[in-house]
Amino acid sequence: MIERVKSAMVGLGATWVLILMLVLSVVSLAIMLERAWLYWSLRDDAAALMRDLGRLLRGGDLEGARRRLEASPSAEAAVVIAGIVEAKMGPEAAEEAMAGASALQRLKLEKRLTFLGTVGNNAPFVGLLGTVIGIVGAFDELGKAKNATLTGATQVAPEAVMANIAEALVATAVGLLVAIPAVAAFNMFQRVVRATLANTDALSHVLLAHLKATGDSGTSVEEAIESAARSADRPSKSSGRPSKEAE
């Protein structure tokens, strides 16, 4: 059984391991570029967005806040828009809507990152497999050299041994070259996802604080907006000047 496994390993060599590592490196690079483009396209100034959202909500302009968020390409804005859509149902409904939208955005942001993490963790082991195959091939050549009776065969054996050892070292190096960029990209992208989700929570709390404050005052959000509009159109009655009929 051991001889059969050894023969299969020596016969295949470590070339297939190198081909596998090359394929993994190409796929990993494609995922890195795609994820980097996605995160770049979703970038926005979260601090400015929070300031604008708070200012518009304090002014009772819920529709203006929605338009401001719709103008932003960020994932944070998409989550808060879901809460504004359900704002008329109350803070609890808005909070649940934002929780669902946040889960969807998280899935979108973390898509394909598992592959990068898997490659980063396992590429060195795949390279180590190639190393083991190369070492087995080197020892097999040494065994052939020992059992050989011809001088020419004995002279060729060291070259074959060195070739197998070199192949083993190349497999280890390729495994590390594939793993290191994958791990670095995975950690960087995870940090971007965590920062995005943190900004989402901050913006969500700004909206919830406004909705809860409006609810505690006994006025719905729509009524507050309508009241603000009526107050702007109605002439002031507190001037204290008597009407013409009173005169």
Q: In this model, does residue 245 exceed pLDDT 50?
A: no
Could you read off the pLDDT of 108-131 as tens digits, one per residue? 999 999 999 999 999 999 888 888
Q: C-alpha angle 53/59/65, rounded to 5°?
A: 35
Q: Does 239 reside within a domain?
A: no
Q: How many domains does the chain have?
A: 1
Is residue 44 within 8 A of residue 73, CB to CB? The reply is: yes
Closest of 107, 121, 112 to residue 78, by C-alpha: 107
Q: Does 237 reside within a domain?
A: no
Could you read off the pLDDT of 188-206 as tens digits, one per residue? 999 999 999 999 999 999 9
Q: Does 41 reside within a domain?
A: yes
Which stretch of 7-21, 99-113, 117-131, 180-194 has the lowest confidence by average pLDDT? 7-21
Could you read off the pLDDT of 158-168 as tens digits, one per residue? 676 777 788 77
pTM: 0.76
Could you read off the pLDDT of 203-243 as tens digits, one per residue? 999 999 988 887 654 444 445 445 444 544 554 444 444 44
Which domain covers residue 77, as residue numbers?
2-224
Which stretch of 58-72, 95-109, 217-231 has the lowest confidence by average pLDDT? 217-231
Q: Does 212 reside within a domain?
A: yes
Q: Does 38 reside within a domain?
A: yes
Q: Does 73 reside within a domain?
A: yes
Q: Does 49 reside within a domain?
A: yes
Q: Does 96 reside within a domain?
A: yes
